[in-house]
Amino acid sequence: KKWEINLSIVSEFVFVGLSDAPEIRLLLFALFLLIYLASMAGNITLLVAISTDSHLHSPMYFFLSNLALLDLLCPTITVPKMLGALLLENRAISFMGCLFQHFSFIVVVGTEIFLLAVMAYDRYVAVCHPLRYLSIVSTKLCAQLAAGTWAAGLLNALLHTSLVFTLSFCGPNKIQQYYCDIPPVLALSCSPTRSRELVILAVAGVLGSSACVATLVSYIYILLEILSRNSPGIWQKAFSTCGSHLTVVCLFYGTTICTYVRPSSTYSPRLDRVVSMLYGMLTPLLNPIIYSLRNKEVKCALKRVISRVRSALTRQENLAQSPPSAG
């Protein structure tokens, strides 16, 4: 009797190009490279401002630095490979390379879902218990919450990756996406995927909805607190405290739900590439802009960072131009 072994015989996958026209590919390369570099610059600047400015050494900005780190990792996992495919037409990725890219991306997505829920709780304490804020959201609790979000993202990614990449891949190997995402990879398997799809949807649904409910409950309590106080300027103060986070939450959940929370039967390659780019490229670009434009403390910190950089450059120029001292 022959035993069937679930082994993948596909050694590499090939990403379907965004365009076959060389002129369009070059234009897309320039556009995506610009977006990627701007995203890197924005998030690195935000991280530098938070780490070097003592005014931003508070729980809110500790969580924001974690978000900026995730927004650095998210496009770095997928965009360089896409840029190489656009410029060099090297669209192939090894089976293990695809597995690692998929795993890393799901870690980032999962961690960000839980981190946004933690940040919502932080805003709830700041608005509803302002006098006890620092005692409730202590340094120890911040470290525990941050470690918990990364651990949850890691475990979630391990589960998803094991469910997807232990399937058999024995036929077509063209991924209808610019990175190794769950729906297009599942579509290539020659094994039955229905049961695993249901598990993936169930796990994603439970984890995603619990994080979403936690975020929603935090904002319901914030709203009730605002209505109960009914003091002048309370809406403006609450919006300045929560507006940036609420905008980021809407942007994140909007693009993520469109991408993942649905069965593969509704999968549309062309539409999904556009939606994935909204999440994978534009969200990391917009997050530091949203927090910079809507937050006076961040804007002041960025000005101080720029001022320090200019002073350092001026000193270097003066040293370079000054004549050497006589020995």
The structure's pTM equals 0.84
pLDDT at 234: 66
- The tokens describing 137, both together, are 């959201």
Report residue 137 CA to chain centroid gap. Answer: 24
Instruction: Please tell me the distance from the alpha carbon of residue 307 to that of residue 312, in angstroms, as a whole number.
Output: 9
pLDDT at 6: 47
Query: Cα dihedral sign for 17, 20, 22, 27?
Result: negative
CB distance 85 to 180 below 8 Å? no
pLDDT at 106: 92
Q: Are strands 12-15 and 174-175 parallel, antiparallel or unpaired?
A: parallel
**Other C-beta atoms within 10 Å of 123: how many?**
24
Instruction: Please tell me the distance from the alpha carbon of residue 93 to that of residue 107, in angstroms, as a whole number.
Output: 20
Residue at 44: amino acid letter: I
pLDDT at 1: 38
pLDDT at 146: 95
pLDDT at 172: 79
pLDDT at 142: 94
What are the CB-based long-range contacts (under 8 Å, 24+) for 192-198? 193/167, 193/264, 196/163, 196/164, 196/167, 197/263, 197/264
Q: Alpha carbon of 3 to those of 10, 163, 167: distances in Å?
A: 20, 21, 16
Listed residue (146, 118, 123) closest to 133, CA to CA: 123
Q: What residues form DSSP beta bridges with 93? A: 13
pLDDT at 315: 79
- Report residues of the chain scoring pLDDT below 50: 1-7, 327
Q: Where are the beta strands (DSSP E) in the chain?
A: 12-15, 92-94, 174-175
pLDDT at 266: 58
Per residue in 214-273, pLDDT (tens digit) is 988 988 888 888 878 777 666 666 666 677 777 788 877 777 666 655 555 555 666 667
Instruction: Please tell me the distance from the alpha carbon of residue 54 to that of residue 242, in angstroms, as a whole number.
Output: 21
Measure the CA angle with vertex 175, ends 170 and 178; round to 5°: 155
